[in-house]
Amino acid sequence: MENQQIHLSIRNVSKTYANGVKALNKINLEIPSGMYGLLGPNGAGKSTLMRTLATLQEPDEGSIYLGETDVLRQKEEVRQTLGYLPQEFGVYPKVSAEELLDYFAVLKGIMQRAARREVTERLLKQTNLWDKRKQKLGGYSGGMKQRFGVAVALLGNPKLLIVDEPTAGLDPAERVRFLNLLSEVGENSVVILSTHIVEDVAELCTNMAIINKGEILLQANTQQAVAGLEGKIWRKLTAKNTLPAIEQEHRVISAKQLSGRSLVHIYSSEDPGNGFELVAPDLEDVYFSTMTGNYVQPQQVEEAIQL
């Protein structure tokens, strides 16, 4: 029961690097148990925040609590209950998955050989690598390496699991396998999925935040965020050379190239006419409208009406 109630509280966390880059600017997040998506472009500050949560670097200011544990002052306690799969996950190419996972289990404090055998077997089966357990890691595909990384991260039943850009570079089939695996492990722990891929968050995460240039632009329930755009997203397939004129006249949130033409999505609370059709919004629309400053959270709308 305790696992289900654990949550992560991040308050006023800031980090400026020596070169003057402000990677994090007063980050405030309340992250419940379950899958939580941190969505933003490359360079937004996601990895800096993930490394800070994983006790690998210090912020300049702020506080972070995992339940009652002070993440910044009780690093050893946090590390005992932390699983971390960084963006660049190196493996020893000449060692088998079974051998390396056993070694990591020792580092995690599982000293009894029988207990280690039991846990490595369970995790290799859970990550669908049991049949390949004797294979050298150098022969693993990108997706298999990522799943092995999850097996390592899951040692010791972590209360906080951090996964940084896990599906970048995976082929579609491996990506689906990987996301299915994450959804299984994300039930009784705080699992943070940090990514620039909107679909990963849309498919997995109940709650999410959007970060850019070190600032949180939006935090919301994923479905409620999409519902907040109902009736406000319009699209039109148009010639590429008409895009500048559309940008002058409408609040364009995205434009995709499609067979030599542009598929334009705009934000408008009323029918813009001009050949635009209303479409059901999705998380990509939430992301792009937030990044362009057009997204208004439902509660902000209510406040504006009351004013």
88 and 208 housed in the same domain: yes
Task: Give the pLDDT confidence score for residue 298 in this predicted structure.
Answer: 62
Residue 3 has pLDDT above 50, yes or no: no
Does residue 5 or residue 77 have the better pLDDT?
77
| Domain assignment present for 140 | no
C-alpha 124/C-alpha 176 separation (Å) is: 18
Q: Residue 211 is inside which H or E element, if any?
A: strand 207-212
What residues make up the domain containing 295?
228-306
Task: Give the pLDDT confidence score for residue 299 in this predicted structure.
Answer: 56
267 and 208 housed in the same domain: no
| Domain assignment present for 7 | yes
Nearest to 212 by CA among 44, 27, 14: 44
290 and 233 housed in the same domain: yes
Residue 234 forms beta bridges with which residues? 266, 278
Per-residue pLDDT band at 304 (split at 50, 70, 90):
very low
**171-207 pLDDT tens trace:** 888 888 888 888 877 667 899 999 999 999 998 899 9
Tracing tokens 């990384």 back to the chain, one arrives at 149
Burial class for 230, CB neighbours closer than 10 Å (0-12, 13-18, 19+)? exposed
In three-state secondary structure terms, 151 is: helix
Per-residue pLDDT band at 282 (split at 50, 70, 90):
very high
267 and 175 housed in the same domain: no
C-alpha 201/C-alpha 190 separation (Å) is: 15
Residue 25 has pLDDT above 50, yes or no: yes
**229-272 pLDDT tens trace:** 999 999 999 998 899 999 999 999 999 988 889 999 999 999 99
C-alpha 6/C-alpha 66 separation (Å) is: 7
74 and 168 housed in the same domain: yes
C-alpha 83/C-alpha 151 separation (Å) is: 9
In three-state secondary structure terms, 97 is: helix
Nearest to 286 by CA among 218, 234, 237, 238: 218
C-alpha 111/C-alpha 192 separation (Å) is: 29
pTM comes to: 0.87
| Domain assignment present for 189 | yes
Tracing tokens 């148990």 back to the chain, one arrives at 33
Nearest to 281 by CA among 233, 236, 235: 233
Does residue 191 or residue 302 have the better pLDDT?
191
Nearest to 97 by CA among 80, 121, 113, 115: 121
In three-state secondary structure terms, 242 is: helix
CATH number at residue 7: 3.40.50.300
C-alpha 168/C-alpha 34 separation (Å) is: 22
Task: Give the pLDDT confidence score for residue 2 in this predicted structure.
Answer: 43
Residue 166 has pLDDT above 90, yes or no: no
Name residues whose C-beta falls within 8 Å of residue 300's C-beta, 6 or more positions apart in sequence.
none
Average pLDDT over residues 34-60: 93
Domain limit, last residue, from 168, 200, 221:
221
| Domain assignment present for 85 | yes
Query: Considering the chain, what percentage of its residues have pLDDT values greater than 90?
Result: 61
191 and 264 housed in the same domain: no
244 and 216 housed in the same domain: no
Average pLDDT over residues 34-38: 93
In three-state secondary structure terms, 231 is: coil
Residue 153 has pLDDT above 50, yes or no: yes
12 and 159 housed in the same domain: yes
Does residue 180 or residue 64 have the better pLDDT?
64
184 and 275 housed in the same domain: no
Q: How many domains does the chain have?
A: 2
Residue 70 has pLDDT above 70, yes or no: yes
